[in-house]
C-alpha cells in the first residue's frame, strides 16, 4: 500500500515538473517571438528579460540578438526554481 502511494506521489510530482517545463517553453517561445515583432513590443520584452537576468545576478545581455529562445527559457526556469525553493523554505519555517 505504501509503495503504491509513493509511486503515485512521484508520478504526480513528475507531472507537475513536466507541466512546468512545457509552460516555460511556451512562455519562452512567446517572448522570443515578441522580440522579433515591432520595436515597441520588443523593447518591453527585452527589458523584462534583462530585469529577470538582473534579479538572478546573471550577466546581462548587451544586444537583442543575444536574447535567444533558449536563453529566455533558461532565465524562466531559473526564476521558477528560485520561487519554488523560496516557497519550500517558507513552508519549512512555519
Cell numbers at residue 88, please?
A: 519550500
Q: Give pLDDT, residue 83.
A: 87
Asked whether the beta carbons of 28 and 76 are under 8 A apart, the reply is yes
- The CA distances from residue 5 to 19, 46, 76, in Å, are 21, 45, 32
Cell numbers at residue 53, please?
A: 537576468
Q: What is the pTM of this model?
A: 0.61
Going by pLDDT thresholds of 50, 70 and 90, the confidence category of residue 1 is very low
- CB atoms inside a 10 Å sphere around CB 47: 10
Integer Rg of the chain from CA: 17
Amino acid at each position: 500500500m505504501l509503495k503504491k502511494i509513493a509511486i503515485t506521489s512521484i508520478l504526480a510530482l513528475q507531472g507537475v515538473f513536466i507541466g512546468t517545463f512545457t509552460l516555460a517553453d511556451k512562455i519562452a517561445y512567446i517572448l522570443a517571438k515578441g522580440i522579433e515583432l515591432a520595436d515597441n513590443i520588443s523593447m518591453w520584452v527585452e527589458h523584462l528579460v534583462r530585469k529577470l537576468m538582473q534579479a538572478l545576478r546573471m550577466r546581462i545581455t548587451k544586444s537583442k540578438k543575444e536574447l535567444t529562445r533558449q536563453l529566455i527559457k533558461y532565465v524562466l526556469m531559473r526564476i521558477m526554481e528560485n520561487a519554488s525553493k523560496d516557497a519550500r523554505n517558507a513552508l519549512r519555517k512555519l
